[in-house]
Amino acid sequence: MIWQALTLQLGYNAALVALGSAALGIAAGAVGGFLYLRKRSLVSDAISHATLPGLALAFMVMVALGGEGRFLPGLMLGSALSAGIGLWLVGRMTARTRLPQDAAIGAILSTFFGAGIVLLTIVQTMQAGRQAGLEGFLLGSTAGMLRADALIIAAGGAAVLAAVLALRRPLLMVAFDEGYAQVNGIGVARMDAALMALVLAVTVVGLKIVGLILIVALLIIPAVAARFWSERALHVVMLSGLFGGLAGYGGAALSATAPALPTGPIVVLLGFALFAVSLLVAPSRGLLAAALRHRRLQSRVHLRQGLLALSRGEPVYEAMTRRMLRRAGLTRPDGQPTEAGRAETARIRLDEARWQALRRSDTLTDLSSRDDGLTLIDSVLTADQLAALDTTLAPRGAT
């Protein structure tokens, strides 16, 4: 069943929804990548919650005009309008009053959502039966989706994706370096507005599938996950799109296999799984890599300090250092250095003596800042410099 779902064999509608959801996921991931690089991730939370009043109002208007209240393009238009107003208000509040952006986001989010709920309760008391389904926009549902709706979502996802591709260069430049973009004749404010329009488009297209409470996750989680893998803006955005696409496709396909698997939460949890894997195993930024790095540094420090103590003929008191020296085959069980240990000890001792000589020297003393207690002097000086330094060592004999 799951395999069939993932290979699009559960019927034409389910396949259409899965493909549309994949396109939406890619677009959301990429847009979210730009949003994250611009540090505006949570604005999308305000936008998505602000769609609800427009959604309900559009339904009421369409019913009042004698049409079908659930006509998806009409609902999308209404939600886009009210989300646009919410977005505009967040901008105005942040610019014109002394409220910080997070407060403006929270205020718009809660007020619009509250108003939407009020309108929703009015819708529920209109002609019973016909409104069934508006609640589906809260958490998303693809069960029993109309063919026309599935087509609209697939086309919408593709359209947003095309818009992202078309705008990728200026968006990338602004995300990478505002000043540089300005010099290249790109209006930063205009590109930010375009980015917000894309966020709005993703939200409106995703309402039916992922739902307005969770669509924000599709804009945030893939981007945060992608950021772990790369330091380059373009790669982050591309990878974020890939993650979003995987989550969108997998979520829509899986939820088609059982009625109790709502699409939105599955999409979000798949995205979160990708994030968790990235957090753990990404090279350089991931937790495992960080732990390994820490471990390597730790062992270098302990070995060096242990060897220094041995070179002075002192016993090693630190239990961990003793263990590490033993494991590296540098000491015997009784704590005395082995053959290899004695060679290492001599090397470290020479290194230490050379650093001291460097500090006393007239020409090389500037380099003493490179002595962090771990760096070997051979990696700092040339062979000639070392030889010159060694001549100053000789007369002092054993220290």
Among 23, 160, 217, 242, the residue binding another protein under the rule CB under 8 A is 217
Q: How far is the CB of 120 from another protein (least distance, A)?
A: 7
Q: For residue 57, which of 148, 145, 142, 134 has the smallest C-alpha distance?
A: 134
Q: For residue 21, which of 140, 119, 134 has the smallest C-alpha distance?
A: 140
Three-state DSSP string of 133-195: CCCHHHHCCCCCCCHHHHHHHHHHHHHHHHHHHHCHHHHHHHHHCHHHHHHCCCCHHHHHHHH
284 is an interface residue for another protein by CB under 8 A: no
> Which range in 4-12, 260-268, 295-303, 310-318 contacts another protein by CB under 8 A?
260-268
> Which range in 1-9, 58-66, 254-262, 375-383 contacts another protein by CB under 8 A?
254-262
Q: Do 134 and 172 touch, CB atoms closer than 8 A?
A: no
Size of the residue set binding another protein (CB under 8 A): 59
Q: Do 39 and 261 touch, CB atoms closer than 8 A?
A: no
102 is an interface residue for another protein by CB under 8 A: yes
Closest to another protein by CB, 165 or 276? 276
**CA 317 centroid distance within chain:** 44
Closest to another protein by CB, 115 or 151? 115
CB atoms within 10 A of CB 394: 7
**H helix intervals, the chain:** 2-6, 12-37, 43-49, 51-64, 72-96, 101-124, 136-139, 147-166, 168-176, 178-183, 188-210, 215-227, 233-255, 263-281, 287-311, 319-327, 339-360, 383-393
CB atoms within 10 A of CB 199: 27
Q: Do 168 and 147 touch, CB atoms closer than 8 A?
A: no
Q: How far is the CB of 304 from another protein (least distance, A)?
A: 27
How many CA atoms are closer than 13 Å to the CA of 377, on its beta-carbon side? 24
Closest to another protein by CB, 39 or 147? 39
279 is an interface residue for another protein by CB under 8 A: yes
328 is an interface residue for another protein by CB under 8 A: no
Closest to another protein by CB, 101 or 361? 101
CA distance 303 to 295: 12
Among 6, 117, 167, 328, the residue binding another protein under the rule CB under 8 A is 117
> Which range in 5-13, 36-44, 76-84, 181-189 contacts another protein by CB under 8 A?
36-44
Q: How far is the CB of 276 from another protein (least distance, A)?
A: 9
36 is an interface residue for another protein by CB under 8 A: yes
Q: How far is the CB of 114 from another protein (least distance, A)?
A: 3
Q: How far is the CB of 122 from another protein (least distance, A)?
A: 6
Q: Do 330 and 349 touch, CB atoms closer than 8 A?
A: no
CA distance 111 to 121: 16
376 is an interface residue for another protein by CB under 8 A: no
Q: How far is the CB of 127 from another protein (least distance, A)?
A: 13
Q: How far is the CB of 257 from another protein (least distance, A)?
A: 13
CB atoms within 10 A of CB 17: 28
Among 60, 151, 272, 322, the residue binding another protein under the rule CB under 8 A is 272
Q: Rule CB under 8 A: which residues touch another protein?
A: 36, 39, 41-42, 45, 93, 96-100, 102-103, 105-118, 120-122, 125, 135, 138-139, 213-214, 216-217, 220-221, 223-224, 227-228, 260-262, 264-266, 268-269, 271-272, 275, 279, 285, 287, 290
